[in-house]
Every structure is written in structure tokens, then in C-alpha cells.
Amino acid sequence: MSTHFPIPRLIKRNIALFALSQSFTGIGMSFAYGLGPLMVLSLTGSASLAGLFVGTIGLSRFLVSYPIGKLTDAYGRKPGIFAGLSLALFGAVAVGLSLAVNSFAALCLGMLVFSMGMSAAQQLRVGATDMFLPHHRAAALGYVALGSLVSLAVSPAIVRGTESVAPALGADPLALPWLVLPAFIVPGMILIALVRPDPKTIGMNLGQYYPGYKAARAPSGRSLAEGARFHPGSLLTHRRLRLATVSNCAAQANMAIVMVLTSLVLHSHGATLTAIAFSHMFHSAGMWAFQVPLGKLSDRFGHERVMLPGVATGLIGAGLVAFTAAYETVTLGTFLVGLGWAAANVAATAVVADHYPTHERGRAIGVSDSFAGGIAVAMALVTGPLLQWSGLPATGAVAVLMALPPLVIVANRRLRRTHPHAEAAAD
């Protein structure tokens, strides 16, 4: 964003409220990734379904991202965020109670409701991009992610506290964190209520908040005043959007596999629940702690120059998780996977946000998230059987392979530029 357009105080206030809300509501996702596979193992006694939690999160993203984007494009971002957090609250309670009644079906249903709610609440990211000018939107996504740093510190503390008091209460230490989660979601909802006006309103009228700024026409040539003509397939027909979508999917697939592996690998080596929670805390630190500098780098030097190294970093991290056994190297690997995902996701989301006007942005980012959610479902469900039948090496190899497509696309593009005669001959 140009220095001639300083960020207005109102928008600074709103983005701070978004970040604070994320610090409360983001705690549950740490539970899903860290405790979820162990809850499945506890109820089924088999590692073959260990990817169910991560798969359910991906499925929810696939199912709700586009519909909630359509809703928020029409009525504003806040209604979609409220609806999502309300679902997440009820889903968290259902997940916690599922172990008390020893019901795998209740666990699946509760996790689906919770993850659908959290996926819907990701419209908060769309709202962040609405309030900022182009060339500063990747950094805006990073500002929201700062709130997740608080949840990084809080989630292991909650696990440790509930693990220590669970025997006295006669409760399952895997279930109790979920039952206290609503006490954090409700304050997050209150903070969202304080955001005014709705971010979509700001995005439709940027010139009122940044005096002297004149909105450019959409990259597709349509003005912002025209009616919505969004087509989901447009993300695959435009070259930059296609690369962004493939990169986001690759990073998500890589992370989905590693999220299943990490808890199981550490558990097999005797790590405590608290130690596993701390390992996932480092993964989450990779995901969220560096999004502001990554976003600023992306805004300044170009989104692809951050997105593609991010995919490569996730590839390296997946190899460490799958092919090493020490707690330190596994934790380093899961950190690198998180860092790689952060770089790829923040840059890819900024590419999509820059390409579409405000009244289409919710659906566009929703479709991108749906693609990523679909690949996450497939990878999470494949990971358990692969682990059961083929062991860690095969599973790790799949995680590495899933990160390769965007790198191959770019390598092929550069090869064609270097050898144009070969390209002409091929044509």
C-alpha cells in the first residue's frame, strides 16, 4: 500500500478486534489437530482412522466455504462469522461429551459441526482483506494471524490444566479441554460484535476511508459497481489464480498428512499429552507467528516469490516428521510444515483477493478454500490406512509428493522460457 494512504484509525481498531477474537476462538483448532487423532484411537483402537479429525476439517471447508462466501458477499462478513462461531460452540461441547458416552458417531458428528463452524468463521480473513488497499492485503492477513499467537500459549496450558484435574473430576483428559472451550468462544463472538462497520461496507467504499484513493477496475475488466458474475471455474482458467490454487492445495495436502502423523509418531515414542501439545504449539507457531513479515514480503516482492518457497519449506518439514524419530526433529519438521503453509496460504489468498472485487471476494476465497479442503479430506483419510499398512516411509513419501505439483509447474514454465525453440517444436 502506498505511503500516501496511511491506515485509518477505524481500520486499525477493527483489525485489532479481529486479532483479539482469533486469539480466543483459535484455541479449538489446536485441540482438533493435537488431540483429535488420539480421541479416534481411544474410541476405535485403530490407527487406520486416525486421519478422521483432519479429514473432517477439510470436508467442512469443502462443504461450507463457498456457501458462506455467497452469504457474506450478499449480507456482510459479520453474519457469516457469527453463524460459524455459534456452530463451533455447540460442536465443541458435542466432541467433549462423545468420550463420556463412548460414542464414535457422536465424536464424528460433533467434530463435523465444530469444524464447519470454524471454517465458516474464516470469513474473518476475507473481512481483513476488504479493509485494506491492494498491495497491503497479504500483510492484513498476517495482522489477523497475530491473534493466534495468544492461542498458541493458551492451548497447551489448558491441556496441562485439564490433564491434571481430570482424574479428580472423573473426566477423560482428552475430552475435558473441549468442554471448557465455549468459555473462550463466547468472548471471541463479543469482540466480533464490536467491529463497525461491517468490513464488506468498508471494502465497497474504500475511497471514504482512504481519502484520495480511487478504486481500480477489477483485473477481469469489470467495474466494482457491476452485478456479481462470479464463476468458480475462473480460479482454474487464469494462470496466476491457477498457480495460487494449486500451491494452496499442495501446502494444505502436505500439512493434512503431517498433522495426522505428528501425534501418532510422538505417541508411539512415549510422549505425554502435554509434550504432544507443545509440539503442535510449535507447528502452530510456524503457521501464525510469521504471517505479518511473510505478508509484507509478499506485498513488496511479489506473491509467487513467497508462495513457492513456502511450498518447498513444507516439503522439507514433511520429510523430517516422517523419516526421523527424535522429538526435537519431529517438532522441527512440524514447525517447518506450518511455516511453509503460512507462506503459501497468505500469498495465495492475497492473489485471489487482489483479482476479485469486494462483492465477489467471499465466494472467490471460499472456492479456493474448498479446493484446499477437498484435497485435505483425501489426504487425511489416506494417511491412516497408509500408516497402518505401509508404515511411516510410505506416508512420508506421499506428503513429499503432494508438495511437488506447483514446483513442477513453475519449473516447466521457466524451462519453456529458457528454451523457446523446444516449446515451439513441441507445439
User: Residue 221 pLDDT > 70, yes or no?
Assistant: no
> How far, in Å, CA of 165 to CA of 172, rounded?
10
Q: Put residue 134 in one of left, alpha, beta given phi > 0 → left and psi -120 to 50 → alpha.
A: beta
Task: Give the contacts of 200 (CB within 8 A, at least 6 positions apart).
Answer: 72, 73, 76, 77, 127, 130, 358, 359, 362
Over range 23-34, report the average pLDDT.
Answer: 86
Query: What is the 3 state secondary structure string of the chain?
Result: CCCCCCCCHHHHHHHHHHHHHHHHHCHHHHHHHHHHHHHHHHHHCCHHHCCHHHHHHHHHHHHHHHHHHHHHHHHCHHHHHHHHHHHHHHHHHHHHHHHHCCCHHHHHHHHHHHHHHHHHCCHHHHHHHHCCCCCCHHHHHHHHHHHHHHHHHHHHHHHHHHHHHHHHHCCCCCCHHHHHCHHHHHHHHHHHHCCCCCHHHHHHCHHHHCCCCCCCCCCCCCCCCCCCCCCCCHHHHCHHHHHHHHHHHHHHHHHHHHHHHHHHHHHHCCCCHHHHHHHHHHHHHHHHCCHHHHHHHHHHHCCHHHHHHHHHHHHHHHHHHHHCCCHHHHHHHHHHHHHHHHHHHHHHHHHHHHHCCHHHHHHHHHHHHHHHHHHHHHHHHHHHHHHHHHCHHHHHHHHHHHCCHHHHHHHHHHHHHHCHHHHHHHC
- In which band, very low, low, confident or very high, does the pLDDT at 326 lie, cut at 50, 70 and 90? confident
Could you please report the per-residue DSSP string of 289-322? TTHHHHHHHHHHH-SHHHHHHHHHHHHHHHHHHH
- In which band, very low, low, confident or very high, does the pLDDT at 2 lie, cut at 50, 70 and 90? very low
Residue type present at position 392: L
- Selection from 59, 64, 32, 73 nearest residue 363 by Cα: 73
User: Residue 227 pLDDT > 70, yes or no?
Assistant: no
Over range 224-248, report the average pLDDT.
Answer: 80
Is residue 255 in some structural domain? yes
Is residue 220 in some structural domain? no
User: Which residue bears the cell 500469498?
Assistant: 347
Is the model more confident about 195 or about 224? 195
Over range 78-87, report the average pLDDT.
Answer: 96
Over range 373-382, report the average pLDDT.
Answer: 81
Average pLDDT over the chain, rounded to whole? Answer: 86
Is residue 227 in some structural domain? no
> Which range marks the domain in which residue 32 is found?
9-211+232-420
User: Residue 314 pLDDT > 60, yes or no?
Assistant: yes
pLDDT at 4: 67
Is residue 301 in some structural domain? yes
Instruction: Using DSSP, state whether 110 is helix, strand or coil.
Output: helix
Indicate if the alpha-carbon torsion angle 228, 232, 237, 242 is positive or negative: positive
Is residue 218 in some structural domain? no
Over range 379-398, report the average pLDDT.
Answer: 75
User: Residue 21 pLDDT > 90, yes or no?
Assistant: yes
User: Residue 219 pLDDT > 80, yes or no?
Assistant: no
User: Residue 409 pLDDT > 80, yes or no?
Assistant: yes
Is residue 323 in some structural domain? yes
User: Residue 213 pLDDT > 50, yes or no?
Assistant: yes
Over range 233-240, report the average pLDDT.
Answer: 88
- Selection from 29, 67, 268, 48 nearest residue 154 by Cα: 29
User: Residue 383 pLDDT > 80, yes or no?
Assistant: no
pLDDT at 50: 67
Is residue 132 in some structural domain? yes
Is residue 117 in some structural domain? yes
- Selection from 79, 81, 64 nearest residue 122 by Cα: 81
- In which band, very low, low, confident or very high, does the pLDDT at 1 lie, cut at 50, 70 and 90? very low
Residue-wise pLDDT for 119-144, tens only, equals 999 999 999 999 999 888 999 999 99
Cα angle, residue 95 at apex, residues 365 and 147 outer, rounded to 5°: 45
Instruction: Using DSSP, state whether 421 is helix, strand or coil.
Output: helix
CATH code for the domain in which residue 385 is found: 1.20.1250.20
pLDDT at 223: 39
pLDDT at 299: 93
User: Residue 420 pLDDT > 80, yes or no?
Assistant: no
User: Residue 224 pLDDT > 50, yes or no?
Assistant: no
- In which band, very low, low, confident or very high, does the pLDDT at 281 lie, cut at 50, 70 and 90? confident
User: Residue 32 pLDDT > 90, yes or no?
Assistant: no
Asked if residues 151 and 27 have their Cβ atoms less than 8 Å apart, the reply is yes
User: Residue 425 pLDDT > 70, yes or no?
Assistant: no
pTM: 0.83
Over range 36-60, report the average pLDDT.
Answer: 79
Cell of 255: 500439512
- In which band, very low, low, confident or very high, does the pLDDT at 106 lie, cut at 50, 70 and 90? very high
User: Residue 427 pLDDT > 50, yes or no?
Assistant: no
Number of domains the chain is built from: 1
User: Which residue bears the cell 483479539?
Assistant: 20
> How far, in Å, CA of 46 to CA of 48, rounded?
5
Question: Which of 167-181, 190-204, 233-247 shows the highest mean pLDDT?
Answer: 190-204
- In which band, very low, low, confident or very high, does the pLDDT at 216 lie, cut at 50, 70 and 90? low
Is the model more confident about 272 or about 49? 272
